[in-house]
Amino acid sequence: MKQTLLFDQFPKSFNNLTIFFISDIHRRTISDKLLKQLSSTIHLVVIGGDLTEARVPFHRVEHNIKLLKEIAPVYFVYGNNDYEVEREKLEELLSKHGVTILTNSSAYLKSKSGEKLILLGVEDMSEGKDRLDLAIKHSPKGDFKILISHNPDIYQKIKSTDHISLIMSGHTHGGQIRLFGFGLYDIGKTHFLKNVTHLISNGYGTSGVPLRFGAPAEAHLIQLRHKGSSTPSEIKEN
């Protein structure tokens, strides 16, 4: 799914920043067909949790990481199913391939003009490990904050004073199996709320029953732009 999101507060020197967002991979192997659909200019890849789960071989996880790392620098947050595997082994694998793990912490991108774009990442809420306060506390000051949280319920914990402009989440699978338009969760979509834009993805894989109906698998190519600006982006990773 491709979409462009416009923000008044988005730093102009980052204009046309492109993010590939994928969540809830679970047992799937990322397909070459999906990757061939991507544009040539992607600035960062975000894994929104549930990269894996119990009984998924680590060689498959590593294969997926390698594919994503070929696209752009990769950032990862934990989902509830990621806790089912050996944490030390998973983090060793991620670190081996240069993936930035956001565990109630932050990272940032900096433009040549000095503006900063802040990435905040929290651990999964289902384990009670999420600490948005720590992620914000230890983040540098910046003009634009993106929060990555596997569980979309993090929205209930956000305050206007946090100055978060965009949230990216997964977890719900869009209900995964929907009958007559109804499912356990709402279908994934981008919500344009009062103080924040919230993208909730259907996710790429399945959990439990290996079946989807009425909630197709998806990954997202998101272009962020300042309203009215057309300046090309000049970005370096920090």
pLDDT tens column, 138-169: 888 777 999 999 999 999 999 989 999 999 99
How many Cα atoms occupy the beta-carbon half-sphere of 124 within 13 Å? 21
pLDDT at 15: 79
211 pLDDT more than 80: yes
pLDDT tens column, 93-127: 999 999 999 999 999 999 989 899 999 999 999 88
- For the chain, give the percent of residues with pLDDT over 90: 71
Domain residue spans of the chain: 2-237
238 pLDDT more than 60: no
pLDDT at 24: 98
Mean per-residue pLDDT for 202-215? Answer: 88
CA distances, 95 to each of 49, 51, 66, 159, 206 (Å)? 16, 14, 12, 32, 25
In angstroms, the CA 218 to CA 208 distance is 18
In angstroms, the CA 145 to CA 35 distance is 27
- For 2-237, CATH number out of 3.60.21.10, 3.40.5.50, 3.30.450.40, 3.40.190.10 equals 3.60.21.10
What residues contact residue 211 under an 8 Å CB cut-off, 6+ apart?
A: 176, 177
If one compares 75 and 214, the residue with the highest pLDDT of the two is 75
If one compares 230 and 3, the residue with the highest pLDDT of the two is 3
